[in-house]
Structure 1
Amino acid sequence: MERMLNGMLDSYTIVITSGGSLGDWAIPYVREGKVLIGADSGALFLIEQGYRPDIAIGDFDSVTAEELERIKDNSRKTIQCDPIDKNFTDTEMAFRLALDMKPTNIVLLGALGTRFDHSLANVHLLALADENGVAASIADATNRISLISQDAYVDRLEHPQVSLLPLSHAVTGITLEGFQYPLGDATLTIGQSLGISNVLLQERGMIRLKQGRLLVIQSRD
């Protein structure tokens, strides 16, 4: 079975806004969400853009008391937890909640920012989605990050550059079609940069693989 990356969002897409870098670029993604979940200050972002979060979740330590009241007043449901007695980040709580809702697609916005530890942990959430059979991606102003463990189409759209990085120790049987630098039955292991900065030559390319988890990072400068 083949997946499609970066194409039209599915009819049951959950969009999560987190507390990292957000801006006007995020609005087209928000519009495609059937369910909107705001994690901590990500809920405030939705409200400030004129959207009503279906769920606001987090410890809300990144907002003021007044902003928290605004979030509660303008969200359909608010789930507040103790900032100390919790096992997951706000973003992971939102992500796990989204998975429980059985969507076909999750788009995570505001997951990248100045805290590299949080950014990397959020990228690892894509593996959690893969384990649950849910397509998921992270988007910011210039990138879209997905994870695949099976053959997938990739559409060029506004992201002509494509980098491939293994999230498992090794990804085997990688074959690329429609790319400037083709690969045939190749293996990528952690620590290699062979898959960096490829270019789609057509509107759609194909990534095939046999085993492993592969990050597909689409970028525009």
Structure 2
Amino acid sequence: MDQRILIFTGGNLSDWALDEIQEGDYLIGADRGAHFLVEHGRTPNLAVGDFDSVNSEEMNYIEQHSLETRAFDPVDKDWTDTELAYDMAIAKTPQEIILIGALGTRFDHSLANVHLLLKGLRSGIPSKIVDEKNEIIVADKPITIYKGKYSNVSLLPLTPEVQGITLEGFLYPLHNAVLTMGQSLGISNRLLSDKGTVEINKGQVLIIKSKD
């Protein structure tokens, strides 16, 4: 599938989220995220979820304005709506998956959505979470980081240790360092120019670009 998939889910969503859509993107609305898309005049290619966050009138509106709708029983399912949508996105093998609205007031859901990025990593499909202030990816091999609109870059281990961290092009460089869970060594770094590199020898690391 030679296009991006954007998954809109039920966390923090407002007008900024619509700006992430580019021509040709395949749009998936997960539960409340589907309603957000249709109420803002966007047509989801796929609306998916148990839709326990919308009423019957909103559900009808979603079905009328989506190209495809897949509804699941809210009790007889093991996965969150976002994970259902993410698995369907991976099955299409797109060039990239972007989760929008994946962070919100429910920290358990937010953290679970961050963990979903591991599925993208294992499948070899570039994936990230984007909200108004942050962009989050997971990496386990050398990667180039582009500054874009963000002022801060933080690294947090997803495995007990991440070994062989070397940062080039950053205000605070690291050379063959070890990041360990429970330490804040990788928090609030900055790029010196438009891009920098992160070398990783072993482990999985969250790379979070953010702005205040």
TM tier relative to shorter chain: over 0.9
Are positions 1:83 and 2:74 aligned together?
yes
The Cα offsets for residues 109-157 of structure 1, whole Å up to 9 and x where unpaired, read as: 0000000000000000001110111110001110000111111111111
Structure 1 partner of 2:199:
208
Conserved 8 A contact 2:6-2:28: yes
**Aligned partner of 2:60 among 57, 69, 72:** 69
User: Secondary structure of 2:20's partner?
Assistant: helix
The Cα offsets for residues 142-188 of structure 1, whole Å up to 9 and x where unpaired, read as: 00001111111111111120000011111111100110000000111
Q: 2:202, 2:148 → 1: CA distance?
A: 27
Q: 1:63, 1:202 → 2: CA distance?
A: 45
**Aligned partner of 2:178 among 187, 194, 199:** 187
**Aligned partner of 2:33 among 38, 42, 45:** 42
TM-score by length of 1: 0.93
Structure 2 partner of 1:5:
none
Are positions 1:118 and 2:112 aligned together?
no
What is the deviation of 1:31?
A: 2.5
Unaligned runs of 5+ in 2: none
Structure 2 partner of 1:7:
none
Q: 1:168, 1:12 → 2: CA distance?
A: 31
Percentage identity across aligned positions? Answer: 50
Structure 2 partner of 1:53:
44
Give the aligned CA root-mean-square deviation in angstroms.
Answer: 1.2
Equivalent residues in 2 for 1:1-221 (5 A)?
12-31=3-22, 34-221=25-212
TM-score by length of 2: 0.97
Unaligned runs of 5+ in 1: 1-9
Q: 1:66, 1:25 → 2: CA distance?
A: 26
The Cα offsets for residues 86-127 of structure 1, whole Å up to 9 and x where unpaired, read as: 010000000000000111210000000000000000000001
